Amino acid sequence: MIHHVKRAKRLLLLFQMLVRIKAAGNDTTEDLFLADEVKQNESIINQEIVGTTSPNPEETTLHYMRKNIGRTFQTHFHFPESRWGPFFEEGSDPLNITARVGSTLIMDCRIGLLQDKTVTWSHHKGESFHLLTVGRGTYSSDERITLSFRYPNNFRLQIVYVTRRDQGLYECQVATHPPKVKRIFLTVIAPEVVILDESGREVTERYYRAGSNLELICSAQQLQNSTSSSEPPLLWKHDDRILTKGISYNVSAATNSATSTLVIAPLKKQHSGNYTCAVGNAAFSNLVVHVLNGELPAAVHSGGAVTRIFCRAFVILGISLLTLGRR
């Protein structure tokens, strides 16, 4: 056991010296071992190699390094482009990711051999550019965006309560010359919500006669996969008041969609106002309801009825004036 521990310590020492000398800019293997540190430890290392690991008594430190150091560490260290400079552990190829409105998003940026180089995150959308983080500090004024660093080398960017304005290009950049950049394209999706009348037509305004029945259908698509939640997938509100009566639901886990029907009968004047159907804070749709006390009796069940009545009246009036003029 002690034998293997000594061998491991020697290998680690050799590797550390190799990395430091390489970082200093020496390119040839022969030059690496001219350093004082290697010379001072070479006799000890040679004894360890000859006595424990090398079948050839004449094998030197230089020969042993050439044969074994690369093989020992090749599965743990990769040096693309610049052999001894920073590199992205997952590669530098661009990524395309998708997030839902209201969710929490984490984008990884693992960097090997960073040394003293600075890492930044930035957001590009159209002509706009926003610097988000510098080093391990957050530069953005948006409190939803932070650097969630994970030891030892993951400069993770975190966005909570994702919104549509977060969509765009994100860049994790290492301040080398030239800079090394990891690009991530973010697409933000949200549920689609519409309010339909009893005939299945999308509406934004309705007129009803007092005493009649109101029936509205809210349809939502692209919901979260967790449609089995105990909370209702859709919420109805009348102005600022949450509605709980006269509501039914139909949820489809297969299509991540849901519908909700709101029925109010009989209608009264106080039922007039703004009706909202919402999927949490992610998406919503509005409808304005007018309840009339008998005036304009034909203007019921349709937001365009009043307009048609006035248009018809103007046409009749125009025809009457034209007939009188001919007389």
From the number of C-beta atoms within 10 Å of its C-beta (0-12, 13-18, 19+), residue 286 rates as: middle
pLDDT tens string 120-169? 999 999 889 999 999 999 999 999 999 999 999 999 999 999 999 999 99
82 Cβ partners below 8 Å, 6+ apart? 176
pLDDT of residue 233: 86
* pLDDT for 25 beyond 80: no
Query: Among all chains, which residue has been given the structure tokens 């940026």?
Result: 109
CA–CA dist 131, 31 (Å, integer) = 42
Confidence of residue 215 (pLDDT cuts 50, 70, 90): very high
50 and 59 Cβ atoms separated by less than 8 Å: yes
Torsion, Cα 150 155 160 164, to 10 degrees, reads -160
Is it the case that residue 67 has pLDDT exceeding 80? no
Q: Are 234 and 278 in contact (CB under 8 A)?
A: yes
pLDDT at 12 over 90: no
The pLDDT value given to residue 226: 45
How does the average pLDDT of the chain come out, rounded? Answer: 77
Q: Examine the pLDDT at 192 and tell me if it is beyond 80.
A: yes
- In whole angstroms, what is the distance from residue 102 CA to residue 93 CA? 28
pTM (predicted TM-score): 0.56
**Contact (CB, 8 A) for 124 and 169:** yes
**Is residue 286 within 8 Å of residue 303, measured between CB atoms?**
no
Question: Per-residue confidence at 267, pLDDT binned at 50, 70, 90?
Answer: very high
Could you tell me where the DSSP H helices lie in the chain? 2-23, 29-32, 36-48, 61-64, 70-73, 305-326
Q: In what order do the strands lie in the sheet with 105-107?
A: 105-107, 157-159, 145-147
Q: What is the pLDDT of residues 29-53, one digit of tens each?
A: 334 443 444 445 545 545 544 554 4
The DSSP code for 270 is G
Reduced to 3 states (helix: H, G, I; strand: E, B; else coil), residue 22 is: helix
pLDDT of residue 46: 53
